[in-house]
């Protein structure tokens, strides 16, 4: 270090309002504790003269937690952006006395992004999206930069939003991220904070929004807040069923009367705004809102997010609320949209032709009841995220095999499900690999998707079907409205027809043979308009007359008829 090198005061702070001792320890002075002072706001602070460079630090705290009361513990900063490999220390870069969050220079903030009702969401897990069989990086652990390499694939498919499974720091080299230890930190095995910025920016360059999966019900057991003062941040007793106790549970009901604020609520909000501000994300999917069980908190977080954004960009807040409860969305609900679990369960039963969780596969009234969000209790189509399967479910292709649908029959059922998913009211979501028939059984072990499947004609054909149906949805305004009406139900032959439309006179009718039996000629009465219609899937024109359309349907076939106004 030069004698002339300038030292700036770098600030360090920890919120621990009722702890008796907090000190800073850093590698710049061989980890010798530096006393900190507590302010009236409950924050302990100290400034240290540091030249520009990279450093590690942690805090020494006299614990108030019930399991280590009065003991000295050392913890990384609960608001760490990057932590050391052993999770013990916080890593920072200091420049002119300020810590550097990212060095990334944003290039595509001015790109227009799709509104919420225009979204076609692709849920992906960074580690498993790349590196699988048939991938150019076969065997490599998926990272943010590898996801960037696949963005053009998603553009070609027609995707305009990705939902990333959690990317905040969790212990271990592989995981899904639902056990976060540091809510502000970027998972090291995925890449650096700058790498995540680059992924978001490259998505925006292509008109793709980025929705982040956020875990705000609980923390991983060794999270720093739990070691500082467990019951200040978390419930002291288990609040949930044994199979839902995933770690310390945030106590959003606790109000610090002395300081006049809600500690856990503020911490969750600060974490969310951290991702919005520094990583420019376009939405949050709230994990496990049914066991957060507090609409006031969700509403408060939602309002604060939108106040922060100030209408500068489209944004969406999504609830994973299971069991389903439409009241988590809508005019009076706290969040914008919710996963449409009833639709998923019913469409999986229908596709597999077998009862599933009490759902009859060929009960057309039940199917219609979950296709239409309004009949299922939601205020609008914009309040539901429709999906067939997701990371929590067995893949639908695997389920089809278990149900006895194999080879061509399985792919017919996959196409049928895709056609319904992409033509019904709501915002559609696809689980990575679903579009080409990934069929691996459900596991939390490392399981990168099998890109080699695209060397098979059936898989590629399914992918092309998805691509065509996504294009249809994006190019057909009637499919992005609340409108839905039943045209015809034939319970005996298991054929249904439903209509979508808009105020500009566009009408779409979808006709589906829900059984894997050849239907042959079908007559659909109550047809909404005589004259020429265009069938989209097979690209031909057909005449309707006398209020009836007559056509043919093969096994599991869905046809889509469009009449322009």
The pLDDT of residue 173: 80
Which whole-number Å values give the CA distances from 537 to 467, 523, 541, in the listed order? 11, 18, 11
> Which 3 state secondary structure label does DSSP give 213?
strand
pLDDT in tens, 97-152: 899 999 999 999 999 999 999 999 999 999 999 999 999 999 999 999 999 999 99
Whether the predicted model's global pTM rises above the 0.95 cut: yes
Cβ atoms of residues 87 and 56 within 8 Å:
no
In the 8-state DSSP scheme, what is residue 442? P
The pLDDT of residue 239: 84
In the 8-state DSSP scheme, what is residue 165? P
- Give the gyration radius of the chain's Cα atoms: 26
pLDDT in tens, 550-561: 999 999 999 999
User: Taking the mean position of all CA atoms in its chain, how far away is CA 267?
Assistant: 21
Looking at the DSSP bridge assignments, the partners of residue 286 are 214, 319
The pLDDT of residue 1: 42
The pLDDT of residue 565: 58
Which residue positions in the chain have pLDDT lower than 70?
1-5, 564-565
> Distance between CA 528 and CA 548 in Å, rounded?
8
The pLDDT of residue 2: 43
Reading the block at residue 476, the tokens are 């057909």
Cβ atoms of residues 494 and 362 within 8 Å:
yes
User: ∠ at Cα 398 (426, 441), nearest 5°?
Assistant: 105
The pLDDT of residue 5: 61
| Sign of the dihedral defined by the CA atoms of residues 387, 180, 176, 197, in that order | positive
Cβ atoms of residues 438 and 395 within 8 Å:
yes
527: nearest Cα among 498, 548, 513, 506: 548
> Distance between CA 264 and CA 270 in Å, rounded?
10
């Amino acid at each position: 270090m030069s004698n002339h090198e300038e030292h700036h005061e770098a600030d360090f702070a920890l919120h621990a309002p009722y702890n008796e001792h907090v000190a800073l320890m850093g590698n710049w002075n061989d980890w010798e504790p530096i006393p900190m002072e507590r302010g009236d706001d409950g924050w302990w602070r100290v400034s240290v003269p540091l030249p520009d460079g990279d450093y590690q630090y942690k805090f020494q705290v006299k614990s108030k937690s019930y399991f280590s009361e009065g003991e000295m513990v050392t913890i990384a900063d609960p608001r760490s952006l990057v932590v050391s490999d052993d999770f013990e220390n916080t890593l920072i870069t200091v420049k002119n006395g300020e810590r550097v969050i990212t060095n990334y220079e944003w290039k595509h903030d001015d790109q227009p992004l799709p509104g919420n009702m225009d979204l076609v969401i692709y849920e992906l897990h960074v580690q498993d999206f790349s590196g699988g069989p048939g991938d150019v990086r076969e065997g490599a652990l998926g990272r943010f930069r590898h996801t960037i390499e696949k963005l053009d694939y998603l553009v070609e498919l027609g995707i305009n939003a990705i939902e990333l499974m959690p990317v905040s720091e969790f212990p271990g080299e592989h995981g899904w991220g639902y056990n976060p230890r540091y809510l502000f930190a970027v998972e090291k095995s995925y890449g650096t904070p700058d790498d995540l910025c680059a992924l978001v920016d490259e998505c925006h360059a292509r008109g793709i929004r980025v929705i982040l999966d956020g875990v705000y019900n609980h923390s991983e057991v060794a999270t720093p807040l739990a070691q500082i003062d467990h019951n200040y941040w978390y419930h002291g007793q288990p609040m949930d069923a044994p199979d839902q106790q995933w770690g310390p549970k945030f106590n959003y009901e606790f109000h610090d009367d002395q300081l006049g604020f809600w500690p856990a609520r503020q911490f969750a909000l600060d974490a969310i705004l951290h991702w919005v501000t520094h990583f420019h994300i376009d939405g949050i999917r709230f994990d496990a809102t049914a066991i957060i069980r507090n609409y006031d908190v969700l509403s408060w977080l939602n309002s604060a997010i939108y106040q922060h954004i100030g209408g500068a960009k489209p944004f969406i807040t999504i609830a994973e609320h299971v069991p389903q409860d439409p009241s988590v969305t809508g005019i009076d609900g706290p969040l914008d949209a919710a996963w449409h679990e009833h639709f998923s369960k019913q469409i999986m039963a229908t596709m597999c032709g077998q009862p599933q969780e009490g759902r009859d596969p060929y009960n057309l009234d039940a199917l219609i009841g979950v296709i239409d969000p309004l009949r299922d209790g939601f205020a609008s189509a914009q309040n539901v995220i429709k999906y067939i399967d997701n990371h929590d479910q067995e893949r639908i292709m695997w389920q089809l095999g278990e149900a006895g649908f194999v080879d061509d029959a399985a792919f017919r059922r996959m196409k049928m499900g895709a056609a319904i998913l992409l033509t019904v009211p709501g915002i559609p979501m696809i689980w990575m690999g679903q579009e080409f028939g990934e069929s691996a059984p459900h596991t939390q072990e490392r399981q990168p998707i099998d890109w080699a499947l695209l060397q098979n004609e059936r898989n590629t054909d399914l992918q092309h079907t998805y691509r065509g149906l996504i294009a249809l949805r994006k190019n057909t305004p009637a499919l992005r409205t609340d409108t839905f009406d039943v045209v015809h139900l034939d319970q005996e032959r298991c054929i249904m027809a439903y209509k979508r439309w808009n105020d500009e006179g566009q009408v779409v009718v979808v006709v589906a043979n829900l059984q894997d039996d050849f239907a042959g000629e079908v007559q659909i009465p109550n047809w909404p308009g005589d004259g020429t219609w265009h069938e989209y899937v097979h690209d031909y024109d057909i005449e309707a007359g006398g209020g009836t359309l007559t056509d043919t349907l093969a096994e599991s076939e869905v046809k889509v008829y469009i009449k322009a106004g």
